[in-house]
Amino acid sequence: MAILSCANSGRLFWLGRYTERVFTGIRALSGRSGAWAEAESKLCFDGKNPESLYCSLMYAYDNAIVLRDEIGSDTFSYIQMAVYEMNSARKSPAPMLQLQKVNDNIAAFWGMADDAISDENVRGIIKLGKRIERVDLYARGDAGNDEIRREVTRLTYRIEKTGLHYDPETLSALNELAEAEDIDRPEMIRKVESLVDFP
Amino acid sequence: MKVTEEELCRHSDSVNEQLARYGVKFGIYKGGQFHEQLFPFDVIPRVIGHEEFAYLERGLKQRVAALNAFLGDIYSDRRIVADGVIPEEFVFSGSGYLVQCDGVSPPGGVYSHISGIDLVQGKNGSWYVLEDNLRIPSGASYPMIARELCMRSIPSAFTGGIVDNRNYPELLRHVMDYVNTGGHSVILTPGRFNAAYFEHSYFAERTGARLVTCEDLTVENDRLYFIDYSGRKEQVGAVYRRISDEYLDPVNFNRESLIGVPHIFDIYRKGNVAIINAPGNGAADDKGIYYFVPRMVKYYLGEEAILQNAPTYLPFYEDDMRYVLENFGRLVIKDVAEAGGYGVVFGDKLSAKEKENFMAMLKAEPRRFIAQEVIDFRDIDIYEGGKRVPRKADLRAFVLTGEEPVVWKSGLTRFSRNPDSFIVNSSQGGGFKDTWVMKEGY
């Protein structure tokens, strides 16, 4: 196991979260049709809105660029290419084409991270960030209960493999919430956000 | 080479796309704001034949051996000053000389582990050293990754006659291991907003040394430790620092600094950690000291210098001052405290008033400047706008010193993108090329 600084463990976690935020955000847009409304463009591309997909990707990049030695140049390169595609999308009259490539690169990044990063902790922290973000996003959005249950199961499986410190009681509570017939989504968001404490 | 160069030019875009993909960038501050930009790469390499490089190699090893001996001397016995070879004003009054380093012997006895020697080739083929960089010379990562990506994009151009330059990380790792006092080797970066951050992270990836910032390190019980995310402490025995002396240790150097590793210099002084390059090396790469390097070679090694300096004058000496004032219009004047292409003034580019003001400054502060003949260095073609055009270029050669100096068989060739300029620095818009050293018989 390689030595990993506290700052880098946090960066890996947020790299996982931000890539997932962009990926799921773009997927949610994929069924749309017609001209882009101004509000929709802002949600996607506004560089001043920290919640936009553009900003989320830039935050992922900000984390990735200081993790080159942890994740490797090949893995990093997919985040860099996603940024180039996002910049093209911002100027495009048909941005979904480039946004699709953003997601292609994020998917390739995850695949490469899984394949090329030898340190299990480094891999595990990225994946944990991704899983936590997905449960959070699904609980906030219109995902079905079965989808949320599946993601909670995957998160549970992942967190137990990372060897990281987490709150087992919160994890149990999260699973109990997921098993309920009518999921208490606000409570689920609170639980998943307090599962681990990263800077 | 002709066919190969044409083939290379055809693939220029694909190589640059690869460089963009891997984020081969450098940082620059404009108007107080940090900008990250791609380092323009020209696909036509500088090619140096086997014999010619063997000559450079001998000269570079000799020069770096003398510079290391000089550093060892001035921080101990100061024989070279006592023997009147170099005036003490030039040794002890420069900002690079650190009194804190007096009497300190670095692990392995090496001061300049990584030396970047800037050379130019005159139109007559002669090579001249323009500058020695013994503090934190950067740039080796660029030709190394460019070679990798060129080989990927244009495999047919690499037929076996070119020395592979992708061994730089092994050379660097060897140096770190050689001086390591026990524990991990790390690369200490000031952070992402440093101009050469790409290089820091790339070397960490390729050498396997951990990339760290100051807050990851702590000194306890006279040892240096890396603190991991679980709070575990791992001893560190070698620090390849990419942070200047001034900001290395706020307790021993700049007390107002908010960065640095408190007390790292104290344990370095005790021999408990190696710092690469050694603090205080600025005493030997000052532009004023440069003038004396051929004398150092003679003094310490008993040999004539193989590599020539560019003809240089020190206004500090009366005769040189007279010469400089009489020939001001055809000389280049350099401020010894500046770097990165800044503080360089071409006499023929100044107005009469500017010239008058500058001469007054020269007379008032003669130690601050050196003057050099303008070497009309050999142009190298670059590929621009679909055609080949000549541009001024220099060569930064890298010498890595562990048991002995080893010259990396490549180098960073930097070129000016402006046809009328001699300034090749990346911070001033210059680009870079790979440097091919040919094998014997090619």
> Looking at residue B346, which CATH number applies to its domain?
3.30.1490.270
Residues of B in contact with A9 (CB under 8 A): 229
Q: What are phi and psi of B404, to 5 degrees?
A: -155, 165
Structure tokens at A56: 């989320």
Is residue A109 less than 8 Å (CB to CB) from chain B? Answer: no
Are B41 and B86 part of one and the same domain? yes
For range B104-116, the mean pLDDT: 97
DSSP state string for B32-51 = TEEEEEE--EEEEEEEE-HH
Distance (Å, whole) CA A166 – CA A157:
13
For residue A2, the model assigns a pLDDT of 65
Quick one: CA dihedral B371, B376, B381, B384, positive or negative? positive
Residue B376 has a pLDDT of 81
Query: Is B402 inside a domain boundary?
Result: yes
Residue with tokens 């009147």: B84
User: For residue B381, what are the β-bridge partners?
Assistant: B390
Closest Cα in chain B to A164: B230
Please give the biggest Cα pair distance in chain A: 50
Check residue B410 and give its pLDDT.
98
To the nearest whole Å, the CA of B34 is away from the closest chain A CA by 14
Contact A5 B202 (CB under 8 A): no
* Contact assignment for B205 to A4 by CB distance below 8 Å: no
Q: Is residue B133 part of a domain?
A: yes
Rounded CA gap, A177 and A167, in Å? 16
Specify if B398 maps to a domain. yes
Determine the pLDDT at residue B50. 97
pLDDT in tens, B25-81: 888 888 888 888 889 999 999 999 999 999 999 999 999 999 999 999 999 999 999
Nearest to A66 among B192, B228, B232 (CB): B192
Residues of A in contact with B228 (CB under 8 A): 3-6
Complex ipTM value: 0.84
Q: In angstroms, what is the C-alpha Rg of chain A?
A: 17
The residue out of B320, B340, B373 marking a domain boundary is: B373
Q: At what angle do helices A73-91 and B12-21 cross, to 10 degrees?
A: 100
Residues B174 and B149 occupy one common structural domain: yes
- Whole-angstrom distance, CA of residue A157 vs CA of residue B268: 46
Residue B47 lies in a domain: yes
Residues B404 and B284 in one domain: yes
The domain tally of chain B equals: 2
Share the mean pLDDT of chain B: 93
Q: For residue A75, what is the nearest residue in chain B, using CA coordinates?
A: B22
Report CB contact under 8 Å: B229, A8.
Answer: yes
Task: Identify whether B267 is part of a domain.
Answer: yes
Q: Check whether residue B347 and residue B209 sit in a common domain.
A: no
**From B205, which residue of chain A is nearest by alpha-carbon distance?**
A69
Q: How many alpha carbons fall within 13 Å on the CB side of residue B291?
A: 23
Q: Tokens for A146?
A: 């079965």
Q: Are B70 and B142 part of one and the same domain?
A: yes
Question: Can you give the pLDDT at residue B340?
Answer: 64
- Amino acid B181 reads T
Structure tokens, A183: 């999921």
Residue of B21, B184, B216 with shortest CB distance to A77: B21
Q: What is the structure's pLDDT at B28?
A: 84
Helical segments of B154-208, H only: 168-179, 197-207
Give DSSP secondary structure letters for B61-80: HHHHHHHHHHHHHHTTT-HH
Give pLDDT tens digits for B367-384: 889 999 988 888 999 998
CB contact under 8 A, B228 and A69: no
Distance CA(B365)–CA(A35), nearest Å, equals 68
Contact residues, chain B, for A196 at CB < 8 Å: none
Angle at B172 between CA B170 and CA B173, to 5 degrees: 65
In whole angstroms, what is the distance from residue B311 CA to residue A141 CA? Answer: 72
A84 and chain B: CB distance < 8 Å anywhere? yes
Burial of B155 (0-12, 13-18, 19+ CB in 10 A): exposed
Out of B1-5, B125-129, B217-221, which region has the weakest mean confidence (pLDDT)? B1-5
Domains of chain A, by residue range, sit at 8-117, 120-199
pLDDT at B2: 47
Work out the minimum CA distance from B200 to partner chain A, whole angstroms. Answer: 9
Which residue of chain B comes nearest to A72, CA vs CA? B205
Please identify which residue in the block is written with the tokens 């509000």: A39
Mean local confidence (pLDDT), B302-323: 95
Q: Which of A4, A6, A73, A196 to probe by mutation at the B interface, max B CB count within 10 Å?
A: A73
Angle between helices B2-10 and B12-21 (to 10 degrees): 50
pLDDT at B144: 97
For residue A128, the SS3 value is helix
Q: Between A and B, how many residue pairs show a Cβ–Cβ distance under 8 A?
A: 60
Q: Which residue in this structure is represented by tokens 């206004």?
A: B315
Q: Is B81 helix (H, G, I), strand (E, B) or coil?
A: helix
Same structural domain for residues B184 and B106?
yes
Within a domain: B125? yes
Whole-angstrom distance, CA of residue A115 vs CA of residue A96: 28
Letter for the amino acid at A94? A
B442 in any annotated domain: no
The answer to whether the Cβ–Cβ distance between B22 and A77 falls below 8 Å is yes
Question: Does residue B195 sit in the same domain as residue B245?
Answer: yes
Where does a domain end: B373, B398, B427? Answer: B373
* CA-to-CA separations, B259 to B217, B398, B420, in angstroms, rounded: 11, 28, 40
**Phi–psi pair at A67, nearest 5 degrees:** -115, 15
Q: Considering only CB atoms, which chain A residues are within 8 Å of B227?
A: 5-6
Give chain B's radius of gyration (CA, Å).
Answer: 22
DSSP 8-class letter at B99? G
The distance of A6 to chain B (nearest Cα, Å) reads 4
Domain of residue B32, residue span: 2-304+376-437
Distance between CA atoms of residues A133 and B144, nearest Å: 38
The verdict on B182 and B315 lying in the same domain is no
Residues of chain B contacting A80 with CB distance shorter than 8 Å = 20-23
How far apart (Å, rounded) are the C-alpha atoms in residues B209 and B203?
A: 8
Helices vs strands, H then E, count in chain B: 14, 21
Q: Which residues contact B6 (CB under 8 A, 6 or more apart)?
A: none
Residues A27-38, mean pLDDT to the nearest whole number: 81
CA distance A74 to chain B (A): 7
Looking at the partner chain, which of A6, A68, A81 has a beta carbon nearest the beta carbon of B229?
A6
Contacts of A4 in chain B (CB under 8 A): 228-229
> CB of B173 within 8 A of CB of B207?
yes
Q: What is the mean pLDDT of chain A?
A: 92
Q: Does A8 touch chain B (CB under 8 A)?
A: yes
Chosen domain end from B338, B357, B373: B373
Amino acid occupying residue B180:
N
